[in-house]
Amino acid sequence: MNDIEELVFGVNQGATEFRSNELLKKACGNENYFSLILFFNFYYENYGEKHVFDTYVTCFSEYESGDNVGLLSMWRGYGEDGEGAAIVFDTAKLAVI
């Protein structure tokens, strides 16, 4: 992600969706859902206080050889305005796991 605001937005949006998911409420039942939300809130706050700055994200993209529009230059804004690094994998040389 580009900056901490994107991370905070994503985590907060995920928490909002989790807390308001009707299927989750239905699957748990009232008592279990209440307990789940208590645990979730505890770990959510703990993450925000202790771990949020240790969160890293990686992205992979694929492009066709000769595609000058889809080259890695599209990621320049995510690497210190062109001062970052890009790693290119030749997937033909990767072993299937």
Distance CA 40, CA 17 (A): 12
- How far from the centroid of its chain's Cα atoms is residue 96's Cα? 25
Please report, for residues 64, 65, 88, the alpha-carbon distance to residue 76 in angstroms, rounded to integers and kept in the order given.
Answer: 19, 19, 14
pTM confidence score: 0.52
Domain ranges of the chain: 4-54
* pLDDT at res. 95: 77
Span 46-82, pLDDT tens digits: 887 777 667 666 777 777 777 665 555 556 565 566 6
Please report, for residues 36, 65, 66, the alpha-carbon distance to residue 71 in angstroms, rounded to integers and kept in the order given.
Answer: 44, 9, 9
Please compute the mean of the pLDDT values over residues 28-44 and round it to a whole number: 93
- Residues 6+ positions from 24 with CB-CB distance below 8 Å: 18, 33, 36
* pLDDT at res. 80: 61
